[in-house]
Every structure is written in structure tokens, then in C-alpha cells.
Amino acid sequence: MQQFISLLDTSTMVLMSAILFFSLTGVLTYTYFYRKTYPGFGSFTLGQLAWCVGLFLIFFRVLGPDPSLIIGNSLIFLQGILWYRGIALYGGIDHIGLRNSFTIALAVLCESCLLYYTFVDFDTCRRVFVFSTYCMLVYGRIAIEPFVVRNWRTYSMQTVFSGFLFFISVSYAFRANESLDALQCALGGPDPIVKTLLLASMLLIPLLAFCLLSMTSGRVEAELREARDALRKQAQTDFLTGLPNRRHFLHLAEKALDRARERGEPVSFIMLDLDYFKDINDTYGHQTGDVVLRAVARRLAEALRDGDEIGRLGGEEFGVLLPGLDGKDAEEVAERLRQAVAALSPGGHTVTASLGMASGATGLNALLARADGCLYAAKGAGRNRVVAQACPMVESPEGASI
């Protein structure tokens, strides 16, 4: 491997690296301006650009030997600052400026050391040590902190992203250690460690860019799923009570009824309507009526068993499906619901309910019609009571208030 590395021309490697890295920077820049991105992506993109220009100056020194090295190193220091800021923004943590102040202070210290070992006490090995130590600390921090800092959000490919950066950090640690005992170090020269780092960067930087794009894509997909689920819930839920709305409740009830038929189990349906609810709205206002509806809905849901289905059918009317119950057992549940409503006093207002109950393995529409007839009978008998399916069928006149 060492023999293979020795055959590689450093200038050619740097030129190929520069072309590759500038191309990747172009991809990140395009993504930043024309695709959905998140806080931190812009810092990553600027950091990548700073790294590309810095690497080019260090090796080609188009501004002169010393200015190119100083400016190039400064840009790579800036890349570490920007990348830490990017990963912190991406993780959604607080006090990012305070956290990044350590990276900025370290960059200023290292830059001062580089200036000292360039213009005061010329020592190329010390310059290599300072530069490598900075890269080791900063890349290691970017790799590790997302997994050790509390409340730092991580996303898909984060582990791979951190793994690559940790490898780079270890490589710079090895280079820093080698420079301590070296008598002469070629800055940006053809030494095997520099070539190895160039080869590693040509592999790892594209993978890091891929990880960043994958993390962004994964986050977009997660948000789309959340938005889809939220829209579905919104379409299925009554906004006032939080119960399933009429359409979704009837869908759930139909499925529960099908399961009951398959198992040969009885099913009962309860239709519940609040008594004189219009008077509450007319006397105290619709806000008070909303308070009453929310309290009743919450209490009804608490009084039911797991597997029972409840929904708001509209206005002050609720539906309840009781799989596995009929006859006396279902009537007891209906009576418990009536008592639960009567025991409430939402906003200091007394409220009662009338309930109609029907049982059988017929279709849902038939159960609804029978329960509605019993509810109308309960209203006619004086309200605040339960009437079961044994009542004579009484059809409510169209448009009449019961």
C-alpha cells in the first residue's frame, strides 16, 4: 500500500480532489437554493466551499507560499466552525452560539500559532501539529456530540455521517502524533500521510455529502408522513370533541360490526342525544355549549370499554357501538352512560341525555334506524332515560326537533 501511495503524484491528486469537491459544493448549493432544506444546510454548504478553496490554496499557493498557507488554513478552520454550527442547527439544540464559541476560540488560537511558527519561530512540523490537532478536535466533536448531548435530534444516516467524520478525526490525530517526532514536515507536500488523507477525503467527502443529502431527504419524508397523518386525523376527527366524526365513526362501526358477525357475537348500538341543548346555546351562548359538548364527549369515552366505538354524529348527538353485548348487558351500559352525563356539571350547567338502544346482527343502517326510533321514543317519554329496542318503532318526522 505504501508503495502504491508513493507512486501517486500529489499535484494531480489535489487537482482531482479540487474538481470533485467543487462539483459537490455545486450540488449542495443547488440543493440549498432550489430544494427543501433545513437550518444548518447552508452552513454545511458554506463550510464545504471554504474547505475546497482552502485545500486548493494550501497545495497550489497561487497567492504566494506563506499567504496561501495562512489563508488556506484559515478557510479550513472556518469550515470546522461552519460545520459545527450546521450540525448543531440541524440537531435543533439551544445556545448554538455559546457552544460554537469554543470552536471559534480554538480556531483563533490555532491561527495565532500558525502565524507564530511562520513569521517568528519558523517550524513546519509545529504548524502541521497545530493544524492536525484542530481538525482532530473539531471533526471529533462534530461526530460525537449528536449522540452525547441531551435533546440533540438525530436523523437517518446520522450514524454513518458521524462515523466518517470520526475516521477523519482519528487520521488527523495520527498525523499530529507523527509530526511531534518528525524533524522536517512538508506543508502540503508529497509525504505519505498527506497522500493518504487526500485519498481518504476523495472517498469520504462525497460520502459525507451523500449522508447530508440523505439526512435532509429522510427529514423531508418524515415531515411528509407526519403531515399526511395529521391530515388524515383531521379528516377523521371532530374538531370540537376530539371524537371520530360521523363519517369515520360509521366506518369504524361497520368494521366492528363485520368482525362481530364473523365471530358470531352480538352487537348493540346506542344513540345518545343531549336534552334541551338548544336552550343552553340560546341562553348562554355557543361557547358554553361547546364546553358542555367537550365535557360530555370526554366523560362518555372514559365510561366505555376497550373495543367500544364512539363518535359524534352531529350537533349534540353521539353514537356508541358495543361489540359483544346485547339485551340487559347493553342496557346497563346505556344506563351507565346516562348517569355519567347527568353527573356532569360543565361550566355549572346541568345536562341530561336521552338514549335509544338497539341490538342485533343486522346491517349498520338497520341498527341506526332502530336506535334512532328508540331515541325518539325516549324523548317523547319525558327525556333523561334509556329506551331499548323493545319499544314500538316511531319514525321521527323529517325536520322535527327531538
- Bridge-based pairing of strands 353-359 and 267-274 is antiparallel
d(CA 387, CA 273) in angstroms, rounded, equals 12
Catalytic residue among 309, 316, 317, 331: 316
User: Pairing mode, if any, of strands 309-314 and 353-359?
Assistant: unpaired
Tell which phi-psi region holds residue 324, choosing left (phi > 0), alpha (psi between -120 and 50) or beta: left
C-alpha span between 312 and 299 (Å, rounded): 13
Beta bridge mates, 270: 320, 357
Residue 115: exposure state from Cβ atoms within 10 A (0-12, 13-18, ≥19): middle
The dihedral formed by the CA atoms of 236, 239, 240 and 244, expressed in degrees to the nearest 10: 10
316 is catalytic: yes
HSE (CB half, 13 Å, CA atoms) of 393?
8
Active site residues: 316
